[in-house]
Structures are given as structure tokens and as C-alpha cells.
Amino acid sequence: MAQENTRDSILDAAEELMARRGYANTSMRQITGKAKANLAAVNYHFGSKEGMVAAMLDRRLEPLNRKRMELLEAEMEKARLEGRRPDIEMLLRALFEPILRFFRSSEGGGNFIKIFSQIHSDSDDTIRKHFLRHMIPVFMAFFTAFQEALPTLSPDKLAARIFFCIGSMAHAANILVNEKITTISSQLKVPMMSDPEGLMEELIQFNVRGLEIS
Amino acid sequence: MAQENTRDSILDAAEELMARRGYANTSMRQITGKAKANLAAVNYHFGSKEGMVAAMLDRRLEPLNRKRMELLEAEMEKARLEGRRPDIEMLLRALFEPILRFFRSSEGGGNFIKIFSQIHSDSDDTIRKHFLRHMIPVFMAFFTAFQEALPTLSPDKLAARIFFCIGSMAHAANILVNEKITTISSQLKVPMMSDPEGLMEELIQFNVRGLEIS
DNA sequence: GTCTATAAACTGATAGAC
DNA sequence: GTCTATCAGTTTATAGAC
């Protein structure tokens, strides 16, 4: 986070504040205050608060989804060459494992994960609109791949199961990051898996079992 | 919704507006305007906006969680009498099926489901605080029951899997209700299961497969 | 219990100097 | 590209009449 330009400082501050308070509850004054930037800088760099949020999401979602599509296409190509169906576990890894990168990265990755885990079912049109623009083509590509992996499963049941997978992932990510940021889940007197890699493995195997069987 | 007192009109209006816009984005003026009540009525009846939200959640979560606990205790008692472990599928039914009641009820149940599906990972402390007060004892009771059903599974893995179940449920509920309220998920060119009962059955079987196996 | 009026503070956005 | 000052509108909450 050290030695940044104003633009990136603003996006980092927005990410951190919105991770905790949400979009509507975070004001431009709070953001520019934390970023040590001038209030007018947001409008200068991004045009509006909404433009700032769009830039904040683009910065994270573009590389995330590019990696997902790379891994998806690699498995589809491998399956084609080997004359087999795409493997469900490999498809789930392509969809979920690129998220781990944000847990490892020091600079603000955890803040984005918090936003990411909520945005899948956010009530705010402003923020969900930009998220869906990134996600719809990715979802469609994965849906097609899962159809090839499970050709006898009806499309509506398959779609439902993929939504179950996404929901389980989003909730797991939220729990994992809440553990770091707030003390909420510490109210639960239950042992938590706190290493992202172990939780990811458990998540993938859980969803492999849930998905298969027509 | 017809012939209500001011108090209930306000809660209904709050539920409908917050389902779409979230807590921070819904003002007391919008709520009292829709409820055809005076602005000051919120403070008179509930003390504050936060008090109103607490009342809104209590009204739905108390009967929901009471039904869940009833079903849970029925299965635990039945298992005890029959000298067997509690059945995973029955535990999931106890946790999830009472939610269906809100889809069937005409008056505003769908609005609550939208709020309910997001509150599990809401960024707003105000609303999540009141939700957790209802949920923590319920979660603990179900965690204990699942431990009896899966005694060889380590507690941290079990907790993770239960969170996966909850996440899949919350996301499925959100998708189902979004389908009704907005046109967002219609952007996905994918067939959707639109009957709550069929989706619930698919959800339960998905999570039974995911949970079992130590 | 319901109303009006208003307090006190906050919001996103912009004009214009430097 | 950064700054101050300000606009115009919003917010929750309350005092006090009826």
C-alpha cells in the first residue's frame, strides 16, 4: 500500500471501508479521508461514486475471471484431446481456486473477498449491476462445461446445483474473512477452519459430491 | 395487507423496501410514505430506525426458528427412541423446510426471504447484529445434532460443511426471489427451477451428498 | 397516537482558483 | 491534478400542538 498514486489510494480505501459497511453506508468523505486525498479527487478520477465502484470492481474481477477462463479452457482442451468428458472436480477448481490468490496477497485482497462474498446476492443495484457485467459470460461458459460433464442431468437441475456451489463458496469466503476483520463469528463456540487452502479443499470435495449423480 | 394498524403497515413497508434496496439505502421517509403513515410514527412505535428493523426481524425469525427447533427436537427424540443416530436428511429438512412457509404466505413473505437470504453475510452491523442474536442458539443446537449424526467427522470440517449448506440455501433463496422481484437473473440464459418445493428438494439432496462421508 | 415544523448533520457533486 | 467553498438535497430524530 506504500507509495501509491491518488487513484489507487482511493480504490484501496474504498475497498476497505465498503468491505465493512457496504456501498450505501460508505461516504466519499470517509473514503477520501482514509486515502488522505481531497474529496473532489473522486469525481476528478472516476466521475462519480458509482464510477469509482466500477473501477474498484474492475481492478479485481478482470484478472480473477481471466484466470478462471484460462483454467476452464485448459481442462476443456485436455478432455477433448483425451477423448473424455470434462472432469467435475477440475471445473470446480477452475471456478474457485483463483479466489485463493486474494487471500494470499497482502494488499487489500481480504477486503475484496469480503465484498466479493456479498456481491453475489447484494441488494444494491449499483454494485450488483457492475458485478453481473463481469460474471454473466463466465457463468455461461461454466454452465456449458458442466453440461458436457453431466449430460444426463436436466439443465434446470444443473443450474440449481451450480447456484448451490456458488452460494456455498460465497458463504465460506465470507466466514473466513469475517474471522479476520470482525469478531462476529467468534460468537459461535465452534471450531473454525481458518486456513484458506484447507477450507478450499473441503469446499471442492463437498461440491463434487453434491454435483455428481444425475 | 389490508386493514392493518400503523405498526404493522410500517413493518410491511420496511420489509418490501429493504428487500430491494437494503437497510442503509432505505429511508424512514420512503417507508412511512409507502405505509401511508406519518414520519414521526416510526420513532413513536419503535424508538429509532434500528429499533424498527429489530422488530421487523423478530416478527419473522421468532416463528421460523421456533419451527426449526421443534422439528430438530422431534427427530432427535425419534432417533433416541429407535436407538439410532439422527438422520442427516431429517436434520437438513428441519433447518431448511420451515423457510418454505414464507414463499407460500401471500403477505410479504417473499420480501422477508430476500432480506433473509442476504442477511447471512450482510455488511451492515446494525442488521446482522439482530440476526445473529436469533441464529446463534439455533446454529449451536444443529451443530450438536450433526455431530451426533456424523461422529467420526472432525468438528472443524463439520462446521465448514454446515456453512456450505447454509450458503447454498441462502443463495438459492435469493435467486428464487430475485426471479420474482427483479429482472437480473433473467439476464442469464439458463433454465431456472422456479417452484420453491422442487428447488428445496434438490437443495436437500445436494447437501445430504455433500455432508455425508467422514 | 398522529400531526407539523424544525433541528442538526450528513450526502454527492461542482465551480473556479491555483 | 489538487484545493476550497459551496450548492442543493437528503438523512434521523425530536419538540410540542392537537
DSSP A128-145: HHHHHHHHHHHHHHHHHH
pLDDT at site A185: 59
Q: What share of chain B is helix, strand, coil (3-state, %, to 5)?
A: 75, 0, 25
- As a whole number, mean pLDDT of residues A103-128 equals 89
Looking up cell 457463468 gives A139
pLDDT at site A180: 61
Query: For a pLDDT cut of 90, what percent of chain A falls above it?
Result: 81
**In 3D, which of A106, B135, A29 has the Cα closest to residue A21?**
A29
Phi and psi (nearest 5°) for B137? -65, -35
Looking up cell 422456479 gives B194
Specify whether the CB–CB gap between B94 and B68 falls below 8 A.
yes
A132-148 burial string, b = 16+ CB within 10 Å, else e? bebbeebbebbbebbee
pLDDT at site A79: 98
User: Does A2 have pLDDT greater than 60?
Assistant: no
- As a whole number, mean pLDDT of residues A51-57 equals 98
A186-to-A151, B108, B155 alpha-carbon distances in Å: 43, 33, 15
Protein-to-nucleotide distance from the CA of A33 to the C1' of C18, whole angstroms: 22
Tell me whether residues A159 and B124 touch, CB distance under 8 A: no
Tell me whether residues B123 and A143 touch, CB distance under 8 A: no
pLDDT at site A184: 52
What angle do the packed helices A155-181 and A125-149 form, to 10 degrees? 130
pLDDT at site B30: 98
Specify whether the CB–CB gap between A206 and B209 falls below 8 A.
no
Judge whether residue A24 contacts strand D, using its CB and a 7 Å cut-off. no
Distance CA B12, CA B128 (A): 19
Chain B partners within 8 Å of A139 (Cβ)? 188, 190
Which nucleotide lies closest to A26 by the C1' atom and the CA atom?
Answer: C11
pLDDT at site B79: 98
- Domain spans, chain B: 57-212
pLDDT at site B38: 98
DSSP state at residue A151: T
Chain B CA closest to residue A17: B123
The C-alpha of A203 sits at a distance from chain B's nearest C-alpha, in angstroms, of 7
Phi and psi (nearest 5°) for B123? -85, -15
Tell me whether residues B209 and A210 touch, CB distance under 8 A: yes
How do residues A129-183 score in pLDDT, each as one tens digit? 999 999 999 999 999 999 999 999 999 999 999 999 999 999 999 988 886 654 4
3-state secondary structure of B75: helix
What does chain A come to in residues?
214
- As a whole number, mean pLDDT of residues A111-116 equals 95
Residues of chain B short of pLDDT 50, as ranges, are 182-183
Looking up cell 461514486 gives A49
**Could you tell me how far CA A190 lies from the centroid of its own chain?**
25
Judge whether residue A11 contacts strand D, using its CB and a 7 Å cut-off. no
pLDDT at site A111: 94
Q: Mean pLDDT for chain A?
A: 93
- As a whole number, mean pLDDT of residues A36-44 equals 98
Phi and psi (nearest 5°) for A74? -60, -45
B127-to-B23, B39, B132, B133, B154 alpha-carbon distances in Å: 7, 21, 9, 10, 32
3-state secondary structure of A186: helix
* Count helices and strands in chain A by DSSP H and E runs: 10, 0
Position with higher pLDDT, B190 vs A185: B190
A184-to-A131, A174, A188, B170, B206 alpha-carbon distances in Å: 26, 11, 8, 18, 28
| CB proximity under 8 Å: A 194-213 to B | 199, 202-203, 206-207, 209-213
Chain A CA closest to residue B194: A156
pLDDT at site A120: 93
Query: For a pLDDT cut of 70, what percent of chain A falls above it?
Result: 94
Looking up cell 463439520 gives B158
Q: Does A141 touch chain B (CB under 8 A)?
A: no
How do residues B83-104 score in pLDDT, each as one tens digit? 999 999 999 999 999 999 999 8
- Cell output for A193: 477452519
B64-to-A195, B61, B112, B134 alpha-carbon distances in Å: 33, 5, 11, 10
